[in-house]
Amino acid sequence: MAKKEKIFWYTIIGLFFLMQIYPVTRPEVIADNPNDLLKNVDVPENISSMLRSACYDCHSNETIYPWYASIAPVKWIVYDHTEEGREDLNFSEWNALSKSDRVEALDDIIEEVTDGKMPLRFYPLTHKDAKLGEEDRQVLSDWAESLMEEMF
């Protein structure tokens, strides 16, 4: 190996290790959430399993981190998305939301799920169960709509 090439690879490896040291906080996993949607609202089985597999990793406190989520640079993206997802809508805090916040959240769910904006496009690549077909999206959005109606 030429000397220049060696230096190149050592630099790459060095940077990779430096990346691991860079401190980032991992959004905490909380298993017991008394305000969780699924604990307080009677959600049909097919819907709750869809929510769990396609939404709950980012939109609840019960995130399941895959092994590669502890390796930079993937972990930066995962932690960032999880934090942002919880901020926008956290199903674990559902019952603590005001009525108008819940209605707006349901409206957002209808919009984002039918538009195909959620789950984020790359997420199903690593989470097969998160892949929602046309029909799944309709079912999920109909459920959100009916829950919205129930509230009035």
Partner 1 sequence: MKKRITILTPFILLFLSYFMFSYTTETLNMNDEVINSITLDEIEIPNDVQEVLKEKCYGCHNTESKGVKSKKKFNIDHLTDGKYSKGKLVSKLGKVVEELEENNMPPEKFLTKYPDKELTTEESKLLMEWAKSQREALMGE
Enumerate binding residues for partner 1 (CB under 8 A).
Answer: 99-100, 103-104, 106-107, 111, 115, 145, 148-149, 151-152
The DSSP 8-state label assigned to residue 92 in this structure reads G
Of 99 and 128, which has the nearer Cβ to partner 1? Answer: 99
Q: How far is the CB of 107 from partner 1 (least distance, A)?
A: 4
Q: How far is the CB of 115 from partner 1 (least distance, A)?
A: 8
Identity (one letter) of the amino acid at 103?
Answer: V
Q: How far is the CB of 47 from partner 1 (least distance, A)?
A: 17
Of 74 and 103, which has the nearer Cβ to partner 1? Answer: 103
Q: What is the dihedral of CA 62, 68, 73, 78, to 10 degrees?
A: -20
Which of 95, 83, 102 lies closest to 33, judged by CA?
95
Q: How far is the CB of 121 from partner 1 (least distance, A)?
A: 17
Q: How far is the CB of 69 from partner 1 (least distance, A)?
A: 32
Of 78 and 89, which has the nearer Cβ to partner 1? Answer: 89
Of 79 and 143, which has the nearer Cβ to partner 1? Answer: 143
Q: How far apart are CA 144 and CA 90, in angstroms?
A: 15
Q: How far apart are CA 91 and CA 52, in angstroms?
A: 10
Of 117 and 131, which has the nearer Cβ to partner 1? Answer: 117
Identify the burial level of 26 via C-beta atoms within 10 angstroms of its C-beta, where 0-12 means exposed, 13-18 middle and 19 or more buried.
Answer: middle
CB of 36 within 8 A of CB of 60? yes
